[in-house]
Structures are given as structure tokens and as C-alpha cells.
Structure 1
Amino acid sequence: MPESVEQWWARRQWSKGQAVPYAIGRYRTDWERYPVLVRQYHPDLNHGITLTQIPPAADVYLVWQCDSGHLFVATPEEQRSRPGGTRRRSVWCPQCAEAAAPRAVKVPEPDAGLHVCGHARDLRRIENDPNDDRCYLCRRLDRETLTREQLVSMAAPGSRVAVSAANSTAGKFSWQCEHGHPTYQATIERILGGRRCPICRHARGGADRVAVGEAFVSRWAPVPASAAEPELKRRLAARLDVSLDANAVRVAKPFHAHLEVWPDILIPELKVAIEYDTTGRHGLEHVGPREESDRRKDRLLRAVGWEVVRVRCGKLQPIGPFDVTAGGVTDALVDRILGRLGEIRGELFVAAYRR
């Protein structure tokens, strides 16, 4: 259970028998890749203990101060996991994050209630047929191709789904498609209205046309996040006689509602993906949950026969066996990447593609 920084430090002093159980700078490398956290932490608010003396996995409450001056308490694990899927500095502060994206307050309609069948009432949806006192959901169930049994069969294991008086059309439930893809959230109304598995829908846009492990051009792939990726691709194209047009690889398991992943650079002839990672403008990229997502992407690629070389910039540490650290795109970096390609596929094989 987390404890205050004073209690935690005193207990470490007792267990290690030292006045300074962790030397200053011991965990500097672990914290360097979280520049926002380094800026938010103040030793004078935490019993004079510096951040480099605290293990990132320590179960201790620390006091932090955001750029706006808000003080809040959080453990190192909570802070390292805080960025989530939002790309702004305010997510590092609970108060700023709440102010930036306030929760919507749902005001019930004056005529809200329950129909005789038990489903939520929505008078706007039955005005067109005043002689039909059935609710919107019941009428959709009668005329849609999905029957009640088919609808319930789509419910994910463990999901509380049944078309009965206990469920409102406004509630979201877990569903899975006939291919057994991981569950997704949707209302019963959207399922009846044609909502289907997003993984299958995205796959029909490209991934279904290629075999697992094959590289292809996907319309879902995002544009480069910075000018560094195109520049690195240009330098590699000048050194290797390979095609760098593909931007996606078909994988066997879903990755964020897609059956494909989008590395920065793909070399199909060698089956090697190259990623260019930085912490980004606000220090939010490729840290915390984003790093876990990177690791999962790498596992999916390796599972279909690909290998990954990550260029880790700034204070980011390698997370794979062939990663390299760099400060920018240079000819020396390209030489190191070519060396990694030789380690992965063999020097003679890579030499056949050198210009």
C-alpha cells in the first residue's frame, strides 16, 4: 500500500541501515525519458528527496506541481501511466486534464421514462407512428435481420447483455463478431442499426486482401509525425536498392481495432521494420502506455516473421535487441542501421541490396 514519502524514506533507511539508502542520480536514466515529470517534481515538496533517488516502481505518494501551479499527489506508477491516448501536457495534471476536457453532464428529457416493455422511452422516435405504442428498440428488433437470439449470441463472454426490461438502449455493452475478434463497446441500438465489428470493417479496407506477414499500402496508415521519418527513409533509399513504398504489415491479431500495423519504414525484401521514436514536443510520445503499445506492436511483427529496429532518440532507452540510440538523422545513424540489418539477416544477404 502506498505510503508518504517521509515514511517510505525512513523505512528504507532502516532496512538498508544507511542515512541515504539511494544515492542521488541512481535512477537518473530511468526518469530522463519523462521530461514533463522531471519538471513537475520538486524536492522541496518531497522531504528534500530528489527524483533520481526514487525507483520508478516505488509504491510511495509524491507531491507534484504542474506548469499551472496545481499541486497533486500521485505515485510514480500513476504518473508514468497518466498520458494515455491524449497528446497534450495537461494530461500530466488531473486538474488541468479535467478542465481541458470536462465531462459532459447528461440531462434527462422531461418525458423520459420506461415503455410498457421496460425499454427507455424516447418520444421523438415514435411520433411518426402514433398508433404503434411499441418502443423504438422493439420495432427495430422486429424488422432487422438480427433476431433476439442472434443479438444475444453476439454478446462477449461475461457481458451483461439481454434484450429485456433490465437494459436501456442508452447502455453500452461488450460484443464480439463471428470471427472472435476482441470485444468492442456499442449500444444495442447501434448493433441493430448496422454497427458491426470495427476490426472486420477496417480489414475490408485493405488487410483482408493480403496474406498474414505481407507488406502493402494501406489507406489507414497515418502521415509521418515529423520530418525526421521521411529524411531517414530518403537516406536509406540512397543506400539500399529496395522498395520503401509499403506502409503497413498484415498481422495475425488485432492491434487497436486493425489487423495491420504501420511502422515508419518498411523493407519488405528483408522483412525489417524501422521505427523512429522521440518523446515528442510535450514529452508524451513513446513513454508509459505508449511504450507498452510499441512493445505489443513489435511482438505482433515478430510473430509474422518480421524484425524491428527502433531508433530511440533523446533519453528513450532501447526496448528491443536491435534498437539503436541517436540524437538525429545522420549518415552515421544510417551506417548503424545497416549494421543492424546485417546482424538480423546476414551481411552477405544485405550486401546484395546495397547500392
Structure 2
Amino acid sequence: MPESVEQWWARRQWSKGVAVPYPIGSYRTDWERYPVLIRQYHPDLNHGITLTQVPPAADVFLVWECDSGHRFVATPEEQRSRPGGTRRRSAWCPQCAEAAAPRPVRMPEPDAGVHSCGHARDLRRIENDPHDDRCYLCRRLDRESLTREQLVTMAAPGSRVAVSADNGTATKHSWQCDAGHPSYQASIERILGGKRCPICRHARGGADAVAVGDAFVSRWAPVPASAAEPELKRRLAERLDLDLGMNAVRVAKPFHSHLEVWPDILLRELKVAIEYDTTGRHGLEHVGPREASDRRKDRLLRSAGWEVVRVRCGKLQPIGPYDVSAGAVNDGLVDRILSRLGEIRGDLFVAAYLR
């Protein structure tokens, strides 16, 4: 159970038998990848203990202060996992995050309750049909020729499979399609009418046309996040006679509702993906949960026969065997990447593609 910073420090002093159990700078490498947290932490609010004296895994309550002056208490683990799925700077402060995206207030239905069939009432979605008094969902099930038993067979292992809720509220479940793709927290309405599996729907847009491990041009791929990525791609094109026009690789398992991943640069002939990683404007990119996502992306690429070279900028630490640290895109960085390519595929093989 987390304890106050004073209690935690006193306990560590007693267990280690020294006045300073963690010297200043002990955990500088672990914290320097989080520039926003360094700015939010103040030793005068935490018993005079600096952030570099706090292990990232310590179960201790620390006091933080955001740029707007909000003070709040959180453990190191809570702060390092704070960015979540948003790219707003307010994500680092719970008060700022709540003000930036307030919770919607849902008004009760004018005729809230449960139909005789057990499905929740929703007057906004009931179709006018004088010859059919069934609820909207029952008519949808009949039109799509999906029975309750068929829906149950689509449920993912270990998930809730009840079609309706006893309290009359909307119920969400974990489902899987015929291909075995999970679709977590999908309501019944979303899995009907061809919208059952977002992974299959996205794959039909391109990934289904290629084999696992093949590179292709995907319409789902995002645009470059910064000007550094196109510049690095241009410099590599000047040195290597390769086709750099592909932007996606087909993988065997879903990655964020897609059967494809989108590295920054793809060297198709060498089967090497190059990623350019920075913490971004607000220190949200490639840290915390997003670093875990990067690791999973790399595992999917390696399982498909590819290797990954990540250019880690700023204070980001390498997460793969061939990652390189850099501060800017220049000829020196390109030389280091070419050296990594030689380690991965062999110098003679890479030399055959040099201009």
C-alpha cells in the first residue's frame, strides 16, 4: 500500500541503515525520459527528496504541481502511465484532464425501462411499425438472421455473453468474429449489420490482399508526425537504391484494430523498419504505455520476419538491440543506420544497394 514520502524515506533509512538510502542522481536515467514529470516535481513539496532519489517502481505518494499550479498526489507509477490515449498536454494533470474533457451528462430516457423481451428501452431508436410490436433490437436480430445462440457463439472466451441486462441498461461484451479477432467492449448494435469486427473491416481495405510479412501501401497509414521523418527518408534514399514507397507491413496478430503496422520508413528489400522516436511537443510520445505499445509493435514485426531500428532522440533510452541514440537528422545519423543495417543483414548484402 502506498505511504507518504516521509514514512517511505524513514523506512528506507532504517532498512538500509544509512541516512541517505538513495544518493542524488541514482535514478536520473529512468526519469530523464519524462521531461514533463521533472518539471512537475518539486523537492520542497516532498520532504526535500529529489526525483532522482525516487525509484520509478516505489510505492509512495508524491506531491506534483502542474504548469497551471494544480497540486495533486500520485505515485510514480501513476504519473508514468498518465498520458493514456490522448495527446493533450493536460493529460499529465488529473485536474487539467478533467477540465479539458468533462464527462458528458446523459439524460434519462423519457420512457426508461425494459421491454417485455428483456431488452432495454430506447425510444429514439424504435421504428414505427403498426404490424410489429417487437423492440428495435429484436427486429434487428431478425433482419440480420442472428439468433441469441449465434451471438453467444461469437462471444470471446471468458466474456459475458448475456444479450440483455436485467436492470434495463445497455450491456457491453467481448466478442470475437469467425476469424477469431477479439472486439472488446462492443455493444450488440455495433456487431450487427456488417460492423461486427473492426479488424476484419480494416483488413478488407488492404491487409487481406497481401501475405504476412509483406510490405504494401495502406490507406490507413497516418501522415508523418514531424518534418524529421521525411528528411531522414530523403537522406536514406540518397544513399540506398531501394523502394521506399511502402508504408505498411502485414502482421499476423491485430495491432490496435488493424492487421498491419505503419513504421516511419520501410526498407522492403532488406526487411528492416526504421522508426524515428521523440517525446513530442508535450512529452507524451513513446513514454509510459506508449513505450509498451512500441515494444509490442516491434515484436509483431520481428515475428513477421522484419527487424527494427529505432532512432531514439532526446532522453529516450534504446528498447531494441539495434536502436541508436541521436539528437538531429544528419549524415552522421545516416552512417550509423547503415552500420546497423550491416549488422542485421550483412555488410556485403547492404553494400549491393549502396548508390
Q: TM-score, normalised by structure 2?
A: 0.97
Report what 1:36 is aligned to: 36
Cross-structure match for 2:140: 140
1:163 lines up with 2:166 in the alignment? no
Q: Hey, what's the Cα distance between the residues in 2 that align with 1:231 and 1:88?
A: 26
Q: State whether structure 2 residue 3 is matched by structure 1 residue 3.
A: yes
Residues 1:164 and 1:34: Cα distance change in structure 2 (over 3 Å) = closer
Q: CA deviation at 1:189?
A: 2.2
Q: Structure 2: which 5+ residue stretches go unaligned?
A: none
* Alpha-carbon shift at residue 160 of structure 1 (Å): 1.8
Q: Which residue of 1 aligns with 2:53?
A: 53
The residue number in structure 2 matching 1:113 is 113
**Structure-to-structure mapping, 1:1-355, within 5 angstroms:** 1-126=1-126, 128-164=128-164, 166=166, 168=168, 170-355=170-355
Equivalent residue letter for 2:303 = A
- Between 126-135 and 345-354, report the one with greater CA deviation: 126-135
Give the whole-Å Cα distance in 2 for the aligned partners of 1:147 and 1:227: 52
Note if contact 2:3-2:60 (Cα within 8 Å) is conserved in structure 1.
yes
Structure 1 letter corresponding to 2:338: L
- Partners of 1:200 and 1:337 in 2: CA distance: 36
Shift of 1:155: 1.3
Letter in 1 for 2:29: T
Give how far 1:226 is off.
Answer: 0.3
Q: 2: distance between equivalents of 1:89 and 1:284? A: 8
**Paired AA for residue 119 in structure 2:** H
The one-letter amino acid of 1:263's match is P
| Aligned mates of 1:87, 1:125 — CA distance in 2 | 34
Deviation at 1:143, TM superposition (A): 2.4
Q: Hey, what's the Cα distance between the residues in 2 that align with 1:165 and 1:344?
A: 55
CA contact (8 A) 1:169 1:188 kept: no
Distance 2:134 2:80 in 1: 51
What displacement does 1:128 show? 1.4
Question: Aligned equivalents of 1:165 and 1:258: distance in 2?
Answer: 30
Could you say what secondary structure the match of 1:145 adopts?
coil
Aligned partner letter, 1:247: N
Question: In 2, distance between residues paired with 1:353 and 1:192?
Answer: 50
How many residues align? The count is 355
Unaligned ranges ≥5, structure 1: none
Q: For the residues of structure 2 that align with 1:223 and 1:123, how far apart are their CA atoms?
A: 41
Deviates more, 1:104-113 or 1:293-302: 104-113
CA distance in 2: counterparts of 1:31 and 1:126, whole angstroms: 54
Amino acid at match of 1:326: A
SS at structure 1 position matched to 2:285: coil
Amino acid at match of 2:152: V
Q: Secondary structure at the match of 2:235?
A: helix
| Percent of aligned pairs with the same amino acid | 87
Kept in 2: contact 1:156–1:174 (CA 8 A):
yes
Q: Distance in 1 between matches of 2:251 and 2:67?
A: 41
Deviation at 1:151, TM superposition (A): 1.4
> Helix, strand or coil: the match of 1:61?
strand
> What secondary structure does 1:21 align onto?
coil
Kindly indicate whether the alpha-carbon contact (under 8 Å) linking 1:312 and 1:318 is maintained by their aligned counterparts in 2.
Answer: yes
Partner Cα separation in structure 2 for residue 90 and residue 171 of structure 1: 31
Deviates more, 1:158-167 or 1:229-238: 158-167
Cα deviation 1:14-41 (Å, max 9, x = unaligned): 1111111111111111111101100000
Q: Aligned partners of 2:129, 2:76: CA distance in 1, in Å?
A: 58
Separation (CA, whole Å) in 2 of partners of 1:220 and 1:337: 27
Give the C-alpha shift of residue 132 in structure 1. Answer: 2.9
SS at match of 2:182: coil
Q: Which region of structure 1 is more displaced relative to structure 2, 131-140 or 198-207? A: 131-140
- The farther-off stretch of 162-171 and 200-209 is 162-171
1:129-187 Cα deviation digits (max 9, x unpaired): 24532211122222222222211211112222223563757322111101111232221
Q: Which amino acid aligns with 2:223?
A: V
| Aligned residue type for 2:44 | D
* Partner SS for 1:184: strand
Deviation at 1:115? 1.6
How far apart, in 1, do the equivalents of 2:301 and 2:226 lie?
A: 23
**C-alpha contact (below 8 Å) 2:310/2:324 kept by paired residues:** yes
